[in-house]
Every structure is written in C-alpha cells, then in structure tokens.
A = this chain, B = another copy of it.
Amino acid sequence: MNFSRTTEYALRIMSFMAMNEQKLYSANEIYANLKIPFRYLRKLLTTLSKSGLLISVQGKSGGYRISKDLSEISLLDIIQQTGDNKFKNECFFGFHDCAFVKKCAMHDKWAAVRENINQVLTTTTLEEIKETGPHSFISNNNSVFTKND
C-alpha cells in the first residue's frame, strides 16, 4: 500500500526539477541532490523523457527540462508514467470484475477512499508543489550507492 520505489523516485525528480522549471538539469546534478542510484536515475530520466514529461537535450551541456507548464502536470500524471497506476479502479480484494458482477463487501467504502486519493493526486500539480516550499527533497539517508560514472 505504497507507491513503488520507482514511482517515488519519479515524484522526487519531477518535484525537484519543478523548483526551477526553466532550468536544464543534468543527471549529475539531479544525482547530487537526490542521491537516487545513478545508473537507475539515468534510466528513469530517459523513461520520463519518452513519456513526454521531460524534454531531453543530448550532447555536451545537455540535460533534462520539464516539458510543460507546471500547472499542467499533476502528481497522477507522474505516477502513471511509472506503471504504478493500477490502484485507479481496483477492487479492494483484487477481484477483476468486482464492479461488474457483484459488489464486494468493501466496494462502496473503498470507492470513496480511492476517490479521495484520486482527488488529491489529480488536483495537486507541480505548481502547487513548488509553492508549498521551502522543503527538503534531499534524501539524507546516507546512500549506500556509488555513482560510478
């Protein structure tokens, strides 16, 4: 009952980059701030670029930049790009046809919970995240990972 690690990483990255939305960030710079395992970070950044949330610039002095206006990127938009969006309409007990055949015992109660979650995730945009600061996006769990690149 969490987001996957990968989704958390994506949320951190996008939120961090939102602090300076025009800026072109290199993977190195993001790594320096967020301490996400470097090679995995690189992979994730290309994923986010392919998904359209980021624009990548190749070559020396290249990097990544947020592609749209901050107000147009909701947390759900980010979450959905990392495959962690299953919860959207899912039955509490994990039955695939819950809504269609018979309601399960938790159907209505859980629908309300999901609605609450969805409401927060769709209405909270990076713009709001930016404005909510100052705050720490810095992972200070002394990373066991090395950069190695």
Residues of A within 8 A of B (CB): 1-3, 5, 7-8, 11-12, 15, 75, 79, 84-87, 90, 92-97, 101-107, 109-110, 112-113, 116-117, 120, 124, 128-129, 132-137, 139-141
- Provide the bound-state CA to CA distance between A131 and B107, in Å: 13
Which of A105, A117, A135 gathers most chain B CB within 10 Å?
A105
A-B contact pairs, 17 of them (CB 8 A): A1-B1, A1-B84, A1-B86, A1-B87, A2-B94, A8-B93, A12-B93, A15-B105, A95-B141, A96-B141, A97-B141, A101-B136, A104-B137, A105-B129, A107-B135, A110-B120, A113-B117
Contact B1 A94 (CB under 8 A): no
